Amino acid sequence: MLLDVAKSYADLMTTVFSTPIAAKVWFASAAALLALVQVSTAARMWGRLKAVIPLSTPAAQRVHRWSGRLALLCTVPVVFHCVFILGFQTTSLRVAIHSIVGSTLYGAFAAKILILRSHRYPAWVLPTAGGLVAGLLATLWLTSSFWYFTNVQFGF
């Protein structure tokens, strides 16, 4: 059954991209770009970057929420490919780091959302959790998409 799912996934991804790995790389890149939007709008909401990002606080909040939702959505095909097709691997230091960091991303994201919904934590906890999620996503992008673009190919 998993082979059928993997084949269906590959067929779906290759309707737009040359390979399923290329699809994974571009979805991860979109998520990383949206993470930059997340960090920027979060800084704007916390009173930083007002001169750089000329948005009102409510507008920055909307952009922050939607960029987060879209970033999470972009990670779904990437996670499917990594978890169900490639699996946890330690064939090189880069791949081991990628597997370990990838295993922690959704846990860190869930913790950030729980912190966001609870008002019992000190003010520094939420930006720290958000920064951790952004840092994990950046590490994942550097150990996968950036590596792919610089060592395999830059294209669809």
Q: How much is the pLDDT for 2?
A: 53
Q: How much is the pLDDT for 27?
A: 93
Determine which helix (DSSP H) or strand (DSSP E) holds 150, and give its type and residue range: helix 147-151
Q: What is the mean pLDDT of each run of 10 residues along the chain (156 residues)?
A: 70 80 92 96 90 90 95 93 88 95 94 91 93 95 93 73
pTM metric for this prediction: 0.86
Q: How much is the pLDDT for 1?
A: 54
**What are the b/e assignments for 90-100, b being 16+ CB within 10 Å?**
eeeeebeebbe
Question: Domain segments of the chain: what residues?
Answer: 2-151
**86 DSSP 8-state letter:** I
Q: Which two tokens stand for residue 76?
A: 């779904």
Half-sphere exposure of 80 (CA within 13 A, CB side): 19
Q: How much is the pLDDT for 4?
A: 76
Q: How much is the pLDDT for 6?
A: 74
